[in-house]
Amino acid sequence: MKSNLEKKKIALPRFVNYTIGISLISFGMAVMLTARLGMAPTSSSPVTVYEITQLFTAGRWITILNIIFVFASMAVSRKVYVSHALSFVTVVILGLLIDVFEIVLTPFVPELFVVRLIIVLSACVVMSIGVGSYCLVNIRLYLIYIYA
């Protein structure tokens, strides 16, 4: 059996990877939003709803629609898993960070198309690194669950 100190040593790197991952994903999404050259597939529906309705912000719509998706997942599976609860937390944090990053980045949007294209491509790389960091947390959790 692992001691509390060993559990804390495992939990801290997971929290750091989770935080870095969510931050990089939301930063990349905010860059794509402000550059106005397209959006990640996972965020295209909420951003479209935002563009049509102009209610709330893009980050709030991402939160609202993803919460609906989590409820739909719970209804389909007919069970409530811990991952569902964690998904709610993740979605709320993601939406808030997207809104914050969008507010910060809006004054710095360049006019030249080529520069915006380079920025969006860079945002894709940043989001990929964020997804990798976020997935690393899930892989570690899975391995600890199997081999514990």
Task: Please return the burial class of 147, using the count of CB atoms within 10 Å of its CB with bins 0-12, 13-18 and 19+.
Answer: exposed
Name the pLDDT band for 5 (thresholds 50, 70, 90): low
**pLDDT score for 3:** 57
Average pLDDT score, the chain: 80
Percentage of residues in the chain having pLDDT higher than 90: 10
The more confidently predicted of residues 35 and 41 is 35
**pLDDT score for 114:** 92
- The mean pLDDT of 19-23, rounded to a whole number, is 88
Residue 108's identity, in one-letter code, is F
Find the length of the chain. 148
Task: Evaluate if pTM is beyond 0.75.
Answer: yes
Residue 22's identity, in one-letter code, is I
Sign of CA dihedral 70, 71, 77, 78: positive
Cα-based torsion angle of the residue sequence 136, 97, 94, 55 in order, rounded to the nearest 10 degrees: -160
The more confidently predicted of residues 13 and 101 is 101
